[in-house]
A and B are shown apart, each in its own frame.
Chain A
């Protein structure tokens, strides 16, 4: 049986157009490639 209150918690307000810019700026775009590059760069000084 579906619990309305519990289901309702899964619905979140949508971003409005005015908020889009802020959301885009705040978005974390770090990916695995960035992490790998950082790890390689961090590992090099230790080797030297």
Chain B
């Protein structure tokens, strides 16, 4: 590095040892230029030609005298098919450093071969013509022209890109991709190329464009290809990652196999055991159920037997109850007789016992008595013959007194009993009829009046009965 003022060689200091000028900033600018040159060289080494052009241009903006950067820039242009641009950089380079400059060799390489120079010139003209066709919407002609251009200069990136664009417009995606792949082989990191490629990939694989592209790249990166004699050997590089994945896969497979064994070998046995247990329990329950059913049948039979016995005993009891009724009636008769024997004048007590006897026998006393034993009937008849008159008098007097006192509720049963024990007692019947009439029971009264008229004709009570009967009938 030399001083911009005196041309003296600069040291590590920030001033010129020859003229004393401050060269700190100047040196920094030179360093920046060199740094961009290194960056451009690095990019050019990996065929990132677009990136290299940017870096080398930056380098030359800092230091136009960076001959290496300018020569490399020309070389990169030449590699991309931009021959005129390359020549321009080399010419400038040669002017800046006429001696010991490799640009001289590059220029000579082109200029010494006139045919090649003419071809290059024709190529450029055809490219410009193709571009003109594109502007004029003559895309077919443009494609033809560009194909010619690329046949002369296969490394012309701009021609490849324009052709790819025309294919994209014509929706010829495969052709476009082929052109773009050629572009990538020349310039790996060209933004325009990558953008077109993304579009083409998207159209070819609409759903998996984004996903598949990195995978393919990864696959490519994971192998090493080399030539061994006539054979191309493709060897995987990184086995560790796949080992981890395969370990996980093996684990997963192991788990699946384990589950499958459990499902197909262990589970059926378990299910069979469970079924056997259930069958045993079912059998035991069935046996218990049968035993209980038998017990129930037995108990039902016992219930039936007991019901029958109960019915028989009920019938027997009913028969005994009949006997008991007779005994009770006999008791009533006995007590009446006993009362008579104790005090023959106590007709009231005797009447009460006989009333009780009558209530037990029901309304029809005669039939009730006939159902009894002969001894009972005989005793009853003899006893009535003995106290009958006094009993009739007792009832008639009591009934008549009540009748006179207008107490018909008392009069009616007494008069009825008086007529019951003595059917020849017409007065009792007549007053009984009157009691019913006065008590409001005219139907019963009419019946009894009729009985008086029938049983006691040509008597005063019969005449009166006829009169009352006529009154009742007239009233109706």
Chain A residues with CB under 8 Å of chain B are: 1-2, 4, 7-8, 10-11, 13-20, 23-24, 27, 29-34, 36-37, 40
Extra inter-chain contacts (10) besides given A32-B32, A37-B4, CB under 8 Å: A2-B165, A4-B165, A4-B168, A10-B192, A16-B124, A20-B88, A24-B91, A33-B4, A33-B63, A37-B26
CA distance A28 to B61 in the complex (A): 10
Are A15 and B62 also in contact (CB < 8 A) when A8-B135, A8-B165, A33-B30 are? no
Q: Cβ of B127 < 8 Å from any Cβ of A?
A: yes
A and B contact pairs by CB, cutoff 8 A, 25 listed:
A2-B165, A2-B168, A2-B195, A2-B199, A4-B165, A4-B168, A7-B165, A8-B134, A8-B135, A13-B128, A13-B131, A14-B124, A14-B127, A15-B85, A16-B121, A16-B128, A17-B120, A20-B84, A29-B64, A31-B62, A31-B65, A32-B29, A32-B32, A33-B64, A33-B65
Complex interface: chain A residues within 8 A of B92 (CB): 24, 27, 29
* Nearest CB of A to B124, in Å: 5
Complex interface: chain B residues within 8 A of A15 (CB): 84-85, 88, 124
CA distance A28 to B196 in the complex (A): 33
Are A27 and B88 also in contact (CB < 8 A) when A8-B135, A17-B117, A33-B62 are? yes
Question: Which single member of B21, B32, B120, B169 contacts A4 (CB below 8 Å)?
Answer: B169
**In the complex, which residues 53-100 of chain B have their Cβ closer than 8 Å to any Cβ of chain A?**
60-65, 82, 84-85, 87-88, 91-92
What DSSP secondary structure best describes chain B's contact surface? helix
Pair A33/B165 contact, Cβ less than 8 Å: no
* Nearest CB of B to A24, in Å: 5
Complex interface: chain A residues within 8 A of B33 (CB): 31-32
Pair B87/A20 contact, Cβ less than 8 Å: yes
CA distance A15 to B125 in the complex (A): 9
CA distance A18 to B125 in the complex (A): 11
The contact string, 1 if C-beta is below 8 Å from chain A, for chain B 97-132, is: 000000000000000000001001100110110010
CB-nearest residue of chain A to B87: A20
Question: Which single member of B63, B134, B169, B192 contacts A32 (CB below 8 Å)?
Answer: B63
* Nearest CB of B to A30, in Å: 7
Pair A31/B88 contact, Cβ less than 8 Å: no
Q: Cβ of B158 < 8 Å from any Cβ of A?
A: yes
Are A11 and B29 also in contact (CB < 8 A) when A24-B91, A32-B63 are? no
CA distance A9 to B158 in the complex (A): 13
Question: Which single member of B26, B62, B82, B117 contacts A14 (CB below 8 Å)?
Answer: B82
Chain B residues with CB under 8 Å of chain A are: 4, 21-22, 25-26, 29-30, 32-33, 60-65, 82, 84-85, 87-88, 91-92, 117, 120-121, 124-125, 127-128, 131, 134-135, 158, 161-162, 165, 168-169, 192, 195-196, 199
CA distance A30 to B60 in the complex (A): 9
Complex interface: chain B residues within 8 A of A19 (CB): 84
Question: Which single member of A14, A16, A20, A27 contacts B158 (CB below 8 Å)?
Answer: A14
CB-nearest residue of chain B to A23: B88
CA distance A1 to B203 in the complex (A): 10
Most chain-B CB neighbours within 10 Å: which of A10, A15, A16, A33? Answer: A33
CB-nearest residue of chain B to A9: B135
CB-nearest residue of chain B to A24: B88
CA distance A24 to B169 in the complex (A): 36
Pair B199/A16 contact, Cβ less than 8 Å: no
Complex interface: chain A residues within 8 A of B85 (CB): 15
CA distance A29 to B70 in the complex (A): 12
Pair B4/A14 contact, Cβ less than 8 Å: no
Are A17 and B64 also in contact (CB < 8 A) when A11-B158, A33-B29 are? no
Pair A17/B124 contact, Cβ less than 8 Å: yes
CB-nearest residue of chain B to A15: B84
CB-nearest residue of chain B to A16: B124
Sorted nearest first, the 10 A-B pairs with minimum C-beta distance are: A31-B64, A15-B84, A13-B128, A17-B121, A32-B62, A14-B124, A4-B169, A29-B64, A32-B29, A20-B84
Complex interface: chain A residues within 8 A of B125 (CB): 16
Pair A14/B84 contact, Cβ less than 8 Å: yes
Are A16 and B84 also in contact (CB < 8 A) when A8-B135, A27-B92 are? yes
* Nearest CB of B to A40, in Å: 8
CB-nearest residue of chain B to A18: B121
Complex interface: chain A residues within 8 A of B60 (CB): 31
Complex interface: chain B residues within 8 A of A40 (CB): 21-22
